[in-house]
């Protein structure tokens, strides 16, 4: 999180110092509608104007060819902040299943092929785990959030959140998105798709990552 350090080195009489009440614009740089809903809820208390990609001219997504969540989150945040000249917040997230050697992991959004729906992917995961007993169905959702400043191409803020749990034997619930109908957080009987949005935010990987990055993001937003 090294560009928080850079803020204190900027001149004191910056535009931001003179007009601190003008909210910064921050782009929520994801095409995933489920993530946008969660980010908007989680970022509500921060003093910024959050924009969605749907409010800007459309642009093809970058190719997510990194090998880690951090690489891919950084690719997305940097690409959109450079393209639009805005602060951009992006995440890369996914479901890491121990019995599948960490799959679908960074490939969660494309598991089984691009043509599958979220529901097809969840069915595929359940079918690949049909012989796995309850005690070996451990898994976790991981989320890495990155924020890029358009002026600082190679510098960025980042934070990670994780929620431990297990894969259910069947789909349950209609809330959330993606693999929520089959993920049961540790200490729970319900899937995250059976929880209300505030409840999911309190325990989710995305909630933890946003809470971890919030103090540095606030300093950045107040900077010059
Ligand atoms: P990406 O970060 O855009 O590459 O996609 C992450 C993928 O992981 C999503 O498309 C979902 O399939 C899955 N995923 C990430 N976070 C969640 C979540 O909170 N609930 C359910 N699925 C998730």
Q: Measuring CA to CA, which residue among 39, 95, 41, 86 is closest to residue 59?
A: 86
Instruction: Decide if 149 is catalytic.
Output: no
Query: 5, 65, 92, 180: which one is catalytic?
Result: 92
Q: Are the C-beta atoms of 15 and 186 separated by less than 8 Å?
A: no
Task: Report the chain's C-alpha Rg in angstroms.
Answer: 18
189's CB contacts (< 8 A; 6+ apart) are none
C-alpha of residue 16 to centroid of ligand 1, in Å: 35
pLDDT of residue 18: 60
Say whether 36 sits in a helix, a strand or coil: helix
pLDDT of residue 153: 77
pLDDT of residue 20: 60
C-alpha of residue 94 to centroid of ligand 1, in Å: 5
Say whether 163 sits in a helix, a strand or coil: strand
pLDDT of residue 6: 32
Low-confidence ranges of the chain (pLDDT < 50): 1-12
- Kindly compute the dihedral angle of the four CA atoms of residues 196, 202, 203, 209, in this order, to the nearest 10 degrees: 130
pLDDT of residue 21: 62
pLDDT of residue 222: 82
- Report residue 48: phi and psi, to 5°: -155, 160
Probe residue for ligand 1, chosen from 38, 41, 73, 109 as the CB with the greatest number of ligand atoms within 8 Å: 109
- Report residue 151: phi and psi, to 5°: -80, -20
The CA-CA-CA angle for residues 144, 123, 193, to 5°, reads 55
- Report residue 94: phi and psi, to 5°: 175, 175
Probe residue for ligand 1, chosen from 92, 117, 178, 182 as the CB with the greatest number of ligand atoms within 8 Å: 178
The residue whose C-alpha atom lies closest to atom 13 belonging to ligand 1 is 94
Which atom of ligand 1 approaches the CA of 204 most closely? 19
pLDDT of residue 16: 55
- Find the helix or strand (DSSP H, E) in which 96 lies: strand 87-97
Place of tokens 């902040």: 81
Probe residue for ligand 1, chosen from 162, 179, 193, 208 as the CB with the greatest number of ligand atoms within 8 Å: 179
pLDDT of residue 4: 36
d(CA 137, CA 166): 5
pLDDT of residue 155: 81
Alpha helix (H) residue ranges in the chain: 3-7, 15-18, 33-42, 69-84, 118-128, 197-203, 205-222
d(CA 18, CA 223): 11
Residues near ligand 1 (Cβ within 6 A): 32, 64, 92-95, 108-109, 141, 176-180, 204, 206
Indicate whether this model's pTM tops 0.75.
yes
138's CB contacts (< 8 A; 6+ apart) are 97, 98, 99, 164, 165, 166
């Amino acid at each position: 999180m090294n560009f928080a350090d850079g803020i204190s080195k900027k001149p004191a009489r910056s535009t931001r110092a003179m007009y601190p009440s003008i909210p910064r614009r921050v782009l929520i740089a994801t095409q995933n509608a489920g993530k946008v809903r969660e980010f908007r809820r989680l970022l509500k208390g921060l003093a910024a104007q959050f924009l969605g990609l749907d409010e800007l001219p459309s642009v093809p997504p970058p190719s997510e060819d990194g090998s880690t969540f951090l690489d891919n989150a950084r690719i997305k945040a940097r690409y959109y902040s450079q393209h639009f000249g805005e602060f951009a917040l992006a995440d890369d997230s996914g479901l890491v299943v121990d019995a599948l050697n960490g799959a679908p992991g960074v490939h969660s959004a494309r598991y089984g092929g691009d043509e599958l729906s979220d529901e097809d992917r969840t069915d595929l995961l359940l079918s690949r785990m049909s012989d796995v007993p309850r005690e070996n169905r451990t898994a976790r959702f991981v989320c890495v959030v990155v924020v890029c400043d358009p002026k600082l191409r190679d510098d960025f803020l980042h934070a990670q959140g994780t929620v431990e749990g297990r894969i259910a034997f069947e789909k349950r619930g209609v809330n959330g998105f993606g693999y929520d109908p089959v993920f049961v957080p540790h200490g729970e009987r319900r899937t995250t798709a059976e929880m209300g949005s505030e409840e999911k935010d309190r325990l989710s990987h995305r909630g933890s990552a946003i809470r971890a990055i919030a103090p540095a993001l606030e300093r950045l937003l107040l900077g010059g």
